[in-house]
Structure formats: structure tokens, C-alpha cells
Structure 1
Amino acid sequence: MKRLFLLLIIAVPALEIFTLIQVGHIIGGWLTFFLVIGMSGLGVYLLTVQGRYIMQQIRREMQMGQLPGDSLLNGACLLVGGTLLLIPGLLSDLIGMLLLLPGVRELPKSLIKLYLMKMMQKGNYVFYRRF
């Protein structure tokens, strides 16, 4: 796990820089700069709109006495997508934007559900309950 984390720390910024340089050669440096800024601005807008909707949905489900499992996974995807938008770079912005779009979010949610189910079957989870 440590090796994978170390590889990601080295590979992701290098890939981001390479992508920025290649896109800068194709469309120009200033357009690349404004593309990154524009994608981040659009992402912040989508994050606020989707975040408000998810929070309303969670409140509704809790008032009805239901556990907001799917809504919480949507919120987790929004959190990760918003964090990726804060990282300068085109690839992280693209992945972050995809996590903010409601229809595209289903694949990561299903992967998270599978991971959580495997953890629960193995007994590798912690359940916190507030009294």
C-alpha cells in the first residue's frame, strides 16, 4: 500500500504537468490557463448546486426515518470531486467534473458499494453509534 501511495505521489503530478504542457502546445498557454480556471469555476458552481440538492435529499430521507445510504455516497463523490477540482491540472479537473455529474457518478458509487460489502463480509468495519 505504501508503494502504491508513493507511486501516486510521483506519477500523478508528473502526468498533470505533462498534460498541461501538451495541451499548452496545442491550444496555447493562455488558453490552457483559462481552461483550467474555467473548469474549476464551473466545478465550484456544480458542487454548490449538487451539494445543496444532496443535503436536501439527506434531510428528507432522515425525516422519513430512512437511512440516507445512497445520498451519502453521492455526497462522498461530491467531496472527492470538489477536492480534485482544487488540485491544479486538467486530468484531476476532468475526473472531478465527472464525479460532480449525477449520471456519471453511478460507476464510482457501485465500486464503493462493492468495496463496503466486501469489508462487511470479512468483518473489517467499525460501526459507531451515538446514544
Structure 2
Amino acid sequence: MAGRLLLLFIVVPLVETWLLIEVGSRIGALATIGLIILTAIIGSQLVRIQGFRTVQEIQAHQQRGEAPALPLLEGAALLIAGITLLTPGFLTDALGFALLVPALRRRLAVNLLRRAVVMTPDGNAGPGPTRRPGDDRTIEGDYRRDE
């Protein structure tokens, strides 16, 4: 975990600074600043549009009585995309635009769901969702609560 934080807070800003200096020396400072502002504007609009679609998908899942886990994770990925697109730099912009690709975002969300651990009401932990779409088997039975 410490290595990841080191990467996030030290290495990424250093790489971003180096990239900004390199691009600025080739195309000029004003063009570099304009490019950074342009990617922020375009990225924020794309995040807004895809965010509305994701909210609609979450609502559709809820209306059908399904858990909206996948759309919620995609929404979280869109939030990260928005943050990285508003952060000045070309490396973070590349990450942000990559997260705007729906197929990549969905694949990341599915992989994250596969690694999820679900807590049951009795406090036991188990693997993520094992129920498959169309698996509507109901097991009838009686129970009693012993106290």
C-alpha cells in the first residue's frame, strides 16, 4: 500500500511535470495551456453525458428490483475519470479518457465485482455474487429463531 501511495503522490506528479515541460518546449507554453484547458472541457462534458446514462441505468436496475452494483462501480469509474481529466497533465488525461471508454469501464467493474467479498446478515464473509441472471430458483422451507 505504501508503494502505491508513493507512486500516486510522488512519481505521477513528477512524470506529469516532465511531460508538461516537454510538450511546452515543443508546441509552446500557450498552446500547452490551451490543450490542457481543452481536454478538461471536453472531458467534463463527456463525463457529464455518460454520468446521466449511468444514473438512468442505476434507476432501471432499482425499478427491476436488482442490485445496481455494476452501474455503481461504473459511476465510480466515471468520477475518477472526471477527477483525472480536471487534473492538469497528459498522463492523468490519458487515464481519464481511457475510463470514458464504456467497454473498458465495464470490464474493470466486472473484474472488481469478481474480487468482492460479500458479508451475509449472519456476519459470515463469502465470495462475491454467485447468482447468475435467470437463476430464479426458490427453496421452500420453514425456520424458527432460537434465542
TM-score class, shorter-chain normalisation, is 0.7 to 0.9
The equivalent residue for 2:54 is 54
Question: What is the TM-score when the length of structure 1 is the normalising length?
Answer: 0.81
TM-score where L is the length of structure 2: 0.73
Partner of 2:70: 70
Identity between Structure 1 and Structure 2 (%):
36
What are the within-5 Å matches in structure 2 for residues 1-131 of structure 1? 1-116=1-116, 119=117, 123=125
Runs of 4+ aligned residues of structure 1 deviating over 3 Å after TM superposition are: none
RCO comparison, higher one (Cα < 8 Å, 6+): 1
Does the 8 Å contact 2:70/2:113 carry over to 1?
A: no
User: 2:70–2:110: 8 Å Cα contact kept in structure 1?
Assistant: no
The match for 1:128 is none
Deviation at 1:112, TM superposition (A): 2.1
Pairwise CA RMSD: 2.3
Residue 107 of structure 1 and its aligned partner are, at CA, apart by: 4.1
Separation of aligned partners in 2, 1:96 and 1:6? 20
**Distance change >3 Å, CA 72–CA 2, structure 1 → 2:** same
Larger Rg: 2
**CA gap 1:61/1:89 in 2 versus in 1, 3 angstroms:** same
Provide the rounded CA distance (Å) in 2 between the counterparts of 1:18 and 1:68. Answer: 41
The separation in 2 between residues aligned to 1:124 and 1:63, in whole angstroms, is 27
In 2, the alpha carbon distance for the partners of 1:70 and 1:76 equals 10
Equivalents in 2 of 1:59, 1:39: separation in Å?
Answer: 30
Q: Which whole-Å CA distance do the structure 2 matches of 1:87 and 1:105 have between them?
A: 20
| Residue segments in structure 2 that go unaligned for 5+ positions in a row | 119-124, 128-147
Q: Which has the higher strand share?
A: 2
Q: Is the 2:54–2:71 Cα contact (8 Å) retained in structure 1?
A: yes
Partner SS for 2:103: coil
> Per-residue deviation at 1:68?
1.1
